[in-house]
């Protein structure tokens, strides 16, 4: 199901370097797919909340002098048969080589989407050389110039690859369909956590099992949901034993929060938190404390407003009134989507896992640098960066995304101090980012740094 990208090219053009780059594009964060990250020749590349598999055809012995060496042909065949897109790598420094011509000919016959990639374009002069007519002789247009070793333009290349893959038969697969999503149900006692969990776990079409025997996580429950296209989506519900134990035990006061706090310690191991609120209950100090910790964590959150069946005299505006009520109580938490459920009757319980998928994919979303640069220019026109400390007016030199899960954005400020920019400007940018690109349910981190300190 996962689309495949083959890296093809003659010896020494930098195939493995590019392979490692593509797999390491998100190395700020470890891959959410345990154990499948990479073997010698295959690995998963994450981009913008979706996954594609990369095949490095560089492992073959290319030392033979014969340009029609069998291995070269085999590489091309592999690309033709198996993959959805070919990255055909050439060396800009060396120029066209007979092997390049031969590979190009075979690839052209394949009718597969091909991106000609000119590697080792380390300098502006070499990048210009990629534009030169010479390369067009391969019949694949001008090469996309990159420098795989330094990572130069690799993000732009990925953007191009993804555009082409989306048009191909197998588009990149959302992270939530490939990786196991770790979920935690959280909330104060009696809001219906245990009932909700049972309603989700109890759905007949799912396969569930306690993740016992793994010793480390005996309290977790694994849920496998069959997908239409085949395969299953996997979720691990963390600390389910803890939730069940608390159910029915009507505890009061400080002890309640202690139990919740213990669960919250697991947050670093959780992708998505489901915060359950009693729709008729108050959003009190305990809820506010939980929400504060959630917003400071790396975990995405969705709010389930439960016991919807108990709300009397519902009208078409009741949900909106509740949304406004929540927004008034916890304004900084507006990024968490809200679903109204009745865990008891099962109403809207199915939507919960769909929303878990959605926020998990949003958490892995990535915006490329060109788009962010254009975004920043528009924002600066709308609202000039406001001054905080120091004498100079803040000048923003660069704005880019440095990590996913959660998304991290870095602003590079001209000069020696990053604090010339008023913190409210970071909040403004965050709000605008959410407005334009979504990032539903996920926290976003904004960092400002100076041009002198590269982090
Ligand atoms: P927990 O402490 O958060 O795990 O809460 P429980 O799941 O034990 O639920 C507390 C009480 O609320 C139980 O009596 C449930 O039957 C009831 N309850 C849970 N969900 C709903 C719901 O959607 N509607 C109604 N009417 N009652 C619910």
Q: Tell me the per-residue pLDDT of 158-196, one tens digit each, with 9 for 90 and over.
A: 989 999 998 888 899 998 888 889 999 998 888 999 899
- Ligand 1 atom at minimum distance from 188 CA: 3
State the DSSP code for 296.
H
- pLDDT tier for residue 256 given thresholds of 50, 70 and 90: low
CA distance 288 to 112: 54
- Ligand 1 atom at minimum distance from 342 CA: 23
Ligand 1 mutation pick, 344, 348, 352, max ligand atoms within 8 A of CB: 344
Cα of 307 from ligand 1 centre, angstroms? 7
Inter-residue contact 92 to 143 (CB < 8 Å): yes
- Ligand 1 atom at minimum distance from 198 CA: 7
Condensed to tens digits (0 to 9), the pLDDT of residues 3-45 reads: 999 998 888 888 888 988 888 654 433 344 443 434 457 788 8
The pLDDT of residue 59 is 44
Beta-carbon contacts of residue 159 (< 8 Å; ≥ 6 apart): 47, 368, 370
- Ligand 1 atom at minimum distance from 244 CA: 4
Could you give phi then psi for residue 84, rounded to 5 degrees? -100, -15
- pLDDT tier for residue 71 given thresholds of 50, 70 and 90: low
Cα of 230 from ligand 1 centre, angstroms? 34
Least confident piece of the model among 27-36, 69-78, 342-351, 384-393: 27-36
Cα of 330 from ligand 1 centre, angstroms? 23
Helix (H, G, I), strand (E, B) or coil at 104: helix
For 195, other C-beta atoms within 10 Å of its C-beta total 20
CA distance 8 to 88: 5
- pLDDT tier for residue 79 given thresholds of 50, 70 and 90: low
Cis amide linkage into residue 149, ω under 30° from 0:
no
Length of the chain: 455
- Ligand 1 atom at minimum distance from 306 CA: 23
Q: What is the mean pLDDT of residues 433-440?
A: 96
Q: What is the mean pLDDT of residues 81-88?
A: 91
Residue of 378 and 221 predicted with greater confidence: 378
The pLDDT of residue 62 is 42
For 109, other C-beta atoms within 10 Å of its C-beta total 10
Q: Taking the chain, what is the end-to-end CA distance rounded to the nearest angstrom?
A: 37
Instruction: Report CA-CA distances (Å) from 157 to 73, 115, 145, 351, 363.
Output: 25, 9, 9, 36, 22
Residue nearest to atom 17 of ligand 1 (CA): 192
The pLDDT of residue 226 is 87
Residue nearest to atom 9 of ligand 1 (CA): 192
The pLDDT of residue 28 is 36
Q: Exposed (0-12), middle (13-18) or buried (19+): which is 170, by Cβ within 10 Å?
A: middle
Residue nearest to atom 25 of ligand 1 (CA): 307
Selection from 259-263, 342-346, 368-372, 383-387 with the highest mean pLDDT: 342-346
Cα of 191 from ligand 1 centre, angstroms? 6
Inter-residue contact 156 to 368 (CB < 8 Å): yes
Least confident piece of the model among 52-61, 263-272, 277-286, 412-421: 52-61
The tokens describing 354, both together, are: 């769909």
Cα of 192 from ligand 1 centre, angstroms? 4
Instruction: Report CA-CA distances (Å) from 269 to 273, 274, 297, 359.
Output: 11, 14, 10, 16
Q: What is the mean pLDDT of residues 96-117?
A: 89
Inter-residue contact 23 to 51 (CB < 8 Å): no
Average of per-residue pLDDT values in the chain? 83
CA distance 438 to 440: 5
Q: What is the mean pLDDT of residues 426-451?
A: 93
Ligand 1 mutation pick, 187, 190, 192, max ligand atoms within 8 A of CB: 192
Residue nearest to atom 15 of ligand 1 (CA): 192
pLDDT at 107 over 80: yes
The pLDDT of residue 209 is 66
Q: What is the mean pLDDT of residues 219-242?
A: 84
Cα of 392 from ligand 1 centre, angstroms? 57
Q: What is 380-402 written as a DSSP string?
A: HHHSPPPB-SSSSPP-EEEEEEE
- Give this prediction's pTM: 0.81
pLDDT at 332 over 90: no
Name all residues whose Cβ lies below 6 A of ligand 1: 187, 189-195, 243, 246-248, 306-307, 309-310, 342-344
Inter-residue contact 55 to 41 (CB < 8 Å): yes
Cα of 187 from ligand 1 centre, angstroms? 12
The tokens describing 71, both together, are: 């291995």
Condensed to tens digits (0 to 9), the pLDDT of residues 338-368 reads: 999 999 998 999 899 999 999 999 999 988 8
Q: Could you give the residue ranges of the DSSP H alpha helices within 143-183? A: 154-167, 175-178
Residue of 211 and 120 predicted with greater confidence: 120
The pLDDT of residue 30 is 38
Inter-residue contact 449 to 412 (CB < 8 Å): yes
Cα of 269 from ligand 1 centre, angstroms? 26
């Amino acid at each position: 199901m996962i689309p495949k990208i083959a890296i093809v090219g003659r010896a020494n053009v930098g195939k493995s370097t590019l392979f490692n780059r593509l797999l390491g594009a998100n190395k700020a964060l470890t891959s959410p797919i345990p154990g499948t990250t990479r073997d010698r020749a295959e690995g998963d590349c994450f981009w913008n909340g979706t996954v594609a598999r990369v095949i490095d055809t560089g492992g073959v012995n290319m030392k033979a002098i014969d340009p029609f060496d069998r291995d070269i042909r085999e590489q091309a065949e592999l690309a033709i048969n198996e993959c959805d897109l070919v990255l055909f790598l050439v060396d800009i420094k060396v120029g066209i080589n007979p092997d390049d011509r031969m590979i190009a000919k075979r690839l052209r016959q394949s009718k597969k989407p091909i991106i000609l990639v000119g590697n080792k374009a380390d300098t502006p002069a070499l990048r210009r050389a990629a534009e030169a007519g010479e390369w067009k002789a391969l019949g694949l247009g001008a090469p996309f110039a990159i420098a795989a070793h330094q990572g130069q333009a690799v993000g732009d290349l990925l953007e191009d690859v993804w555009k082409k893959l989306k048009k191909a038969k197998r588009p990149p697969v959302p992270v939530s369909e490939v990786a196991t999503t770790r979920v935690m149900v959280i909330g104060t006692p009696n809001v219906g956590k245990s009932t909700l969990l049972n309603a989700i776990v109890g759905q007949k079409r799912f396969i569930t099992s306690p993740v016992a025997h793994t010793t480390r996580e005996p309290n977790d429950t694994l849920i496998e949901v069959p997908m239409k296209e085949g395969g299953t989506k996997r979720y691990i519900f963390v600390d389910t034993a803890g939730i069940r134990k608390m159910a029915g035990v009507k505890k009061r006061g400080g002890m309640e929060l202690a139990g919740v706090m213990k669960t919250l310690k697991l947050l670093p191991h959780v992708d998505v938190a489901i915060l359950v609120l009693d729709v008729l209950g108050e959003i009190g100090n305990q809820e506010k404390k939980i929400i504060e910790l959630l917003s400071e964590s790396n975990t995405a959150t969705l709010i389930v407003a439960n016991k919807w069946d108990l709300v009397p005299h519902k009208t078409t505006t009741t949900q909106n009134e509740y949304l406004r009520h929540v927004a008034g109580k916890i304004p900084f938490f507006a990024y968490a989507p809200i679903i109204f459920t009745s865990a008891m009757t099962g109403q809207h319980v199915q939507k919960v896992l769909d929303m878990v998928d959605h926020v998990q994919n949003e958490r892995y979303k990535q915006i490329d640098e060109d788009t962010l640069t254009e975004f920043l220019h528009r924002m600066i026109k709308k609202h000039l960066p406001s001054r905080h400390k120091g004498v100079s007016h803040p000048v923003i030199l660069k704005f880019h995304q440095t990590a996913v899960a959660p998304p991290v954005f870095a602003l590079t400020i001209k000069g020696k101090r990053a604090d010339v920019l008023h913190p409210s400007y970071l909040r403004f940018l965050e709000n605008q980012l959410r407005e334009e690109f979504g990032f539903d349910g996920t926290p976003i981190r904004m960092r400002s740094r100076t041009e002198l300190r590269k982090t």
